Chain A
């Protein structure tokens, strides 16, 4: 233990009374271990490869190759299959561990939770993710399953509303594409393509291992040694450039579906993409605080619309930012989505002139700060958050301090910059006639 800890760095937070260890394995894999005295241990083995990485090449020269939409997600499904025809779920089940996986716009994550046999389960996680096995028959079979998965998402109006909004906001960015792809795009997927994508992205230096629980860091490092190569591959992964205009592609989209009342998502595209991770985190927290002040259920905008019966309690808001896209999104249910948009623009114009209320600012900052504290009660939540911060290249423990350091001025400056007219898009799901 001594030796392992000596070779690891430590981050700690006096406020949260928590700490974690981290190091980079000789293979290039970043390893993070967050000790937590809870019964459930959680591990994530994730790759910086999501649905938006559909145009890439792995050499200094050469033209990036465009692959069909949905490959990253397809690969996630197929990796569970072993060469002997068994699947990885069986190995986890035999250990009493619960395994799962998901694909997002910019990552694919494989995970398990367990209350015993942690070491064997961690070995299995590293083994199966690094050992692909695909055949024509198994790829064909998966096409049927994923087609049903796509169909299920197609029947979810909120998800359609959001996906349509992304298509309205973005002209070029691959975030437009459904994470699962389409029934048509996944028919183009072959074992060879899956092997090629796996070889390109699933390399330790493009991945991260996150463990949270009552575990011994030295054991984690030993297991990593047993499964990982001893040196890093340094071929760069080059992703295709996206020339995304600042303004939205379309200001309005709608679709008719089985809904009782129209649903809406208003997106406000943020063209400011920040490559410095710390600066991006600060902006992300500032804009989220601003959203809290402007749109929360305790605020004037929501309660005004709600008391007048214009929106229902199904109302949400937030700001997302990555290196390649950033936007504010406000979603809800209303018989008059266009009116909600008009009232929103009026409200923002008024607040821009009058300025934010100091008391609202303090109240929202206090609630947001407290949410940070609450995030450290479950090994699952800790591991999942830590993974996001690691892949983004930011420090998780810096959040409470950053939140406390945000000033009213800073949020007012953002308020004046963020909501330009040409950045608004409205997506509506209307009831079928």
Chain B
């Protein structure tokens, strides 16, 4: 497997294809890249869900799902996430290869037909508005989803930390908006947003699998090209926040038993920067694997938590350390995390640790080629940032990272935000016997 071949399907559609017969099910994604906007982004999230509710030909969710069952249970997922300061929207589908199906059916056009229906022919009322009952229902579901973020303290804490830290950057905008914003959306406004979003949209498509690229180009052209327009220049901003001048502290509480501590650093380096490889190795060594500094010291040596790990968001140039712990251990854990970061800055790690970090990354990048989803993610993210390196080149670059590259990457870290979610039920150990309050009927 080499690098993806790029096809210009039409003025507004680019297709990247990795031809391979390694998989029984290939993967097709159709994405649009949008700038993040305080007002429009939550509307776009809502719009995607409303569109998925029903189309002219498949007027209900059940009909759409029945159609998918007939396409051999193909899973059509909505894509809606951030990459850096861009919102990525669209669809992805796993497509079984025809050679494994009883009649040799090709599922590609069936899925593209559904995508075309969902995007361009949703259910409308007699005034040409998106069906009000679907809009109202999805508004309520989106509000429910916003409220439900607190159900998972680990994810909630990580989202809150990001929102605080990036309050002045596009990606600080919550992707689903706030309850008040969603409650205020009218059917007219959402319908207008649908028109303006699709007017001159362009798509980045990605395919991994055995299908014939020319046929795929034809199918994409037939289904989607009428609606698209000339592709805009790369959206990714060359500029980004490289360091923190002061450290901000935020604290909230939830009635849960475990506390969540996050330390978020600006690294000065993104995927498109020269220091990306050193930073990745540094992140691995600090807190990604079971032999990393944080795992070995905060969890194993001091027994302070079940997890303590670091995550490098290479699209934003941010490294975050996250630890779930008994709130009474907060000060001790924070000081131990800081001292482990200092240790890396001062080169206090063995050659063995450096070597293990590099090997782990190289192993992970080799494994990419075993997963259509991982391949898509790898190449899509790089395309977005205008980076052309292959997975193989990345591995060579990781291997070449030196001890001083790593210490330099660690020295460039500046602590931007410390976020603590206090679990107010902590200390009430064995507060129930695992069954809660019970009633017999």
Show the binding face of A for B, using Cβ within 8 Å.
15, 37-40, 87, 89-90, 93-99, 113-116, 141-142, 144-146, 148-149, 151-152, 154-158, 160, 163-164, 167-168, 178, 182-184, 250-256, 258-261, 296-300, 302-303, 306-307, 309, 312-314, 333, 363-364, 366-371, 373-374, 376-379, 432
Contact = CB atoms under 8 A, between A and B. Distances in A.
Given A98-B363, A155-B423, A93 B356 contact: yes
Nearest to B431: A154
Contacts of A260: 144, 147-148, 150-151
B256 A155 contact: yes
Contact of A298 (B68, B256, B371, B435): B68
14 contacts: A39-B369, A99-B290, A115-B363, A116-B363, A148-B305, A148-B325, A151-B258, A155-B423, A156-B152, A252-B438, A252-B441, A258-B256, A363-B66, A377-B23
A373 B97 CA distance: 10
Nearest to A184: B430
* 3 interchain residue pairs of minimum CB distance: A255-B436, A367-B73, A260-B147
A87 to B, nearest CB: 8
Given A148-B258, A313-B141, A374-B96, A90 B432 contact: no
A129 to B, nearest CB: 16
Place the interface of chain B in its size category. 35 or more
Contacts of B429: 183
Contact of A38 (B303, B370, B435): B370
Q: Which of A151, A252, A297 has the most C-beta atoms of chain B within 10 angstroms of its own C-beta?
A: A151
B94 interface: yes
Given A96-B360, A298-B66, 17 more contacts: A87-B300, A90-B291, A93-B356, A93-B359, A115-B362, A148-B326, A164-B435, A178-B434, A298-B69, A312-B141, A363-B70, A368-B73, A370-B96, A371-B73, A377-B22, A377-B23, A378-B370
B165 to A, nearest CB: 23
A314 to B, nearest CB: 8
B81 interface: no
A366 B103 CA distance: 13
A144 B429 CA distance: 13
Contacts of B24: 373-374, 376-377
B144 A261 contact: yes
B160 to A, nearest CB: 14
Contacts of A254: 436-439
Nearest to A158: B151
A256 B255 CA distance: 11
A425 to B, nearest CB: 10
B274 interface: no
Nearest to B325: A148
Q: Which of B101, B300, B305, B359 has the most C-beta atoms of chain A within 10 angstroms of its own C-beta?
A: B359
A155 B144 contact: no
B7 interface: no
Contacts of B362: 96, 115
Interface string B151-187: 1111000000000000000000000000000000000
B435 A96 contact: no
A306 B438 contact: no
Interface stretch (B57-65, B239-247, B378-386): B57-65
B304 to A, nearest CB: 8
A298 B22 contact: no
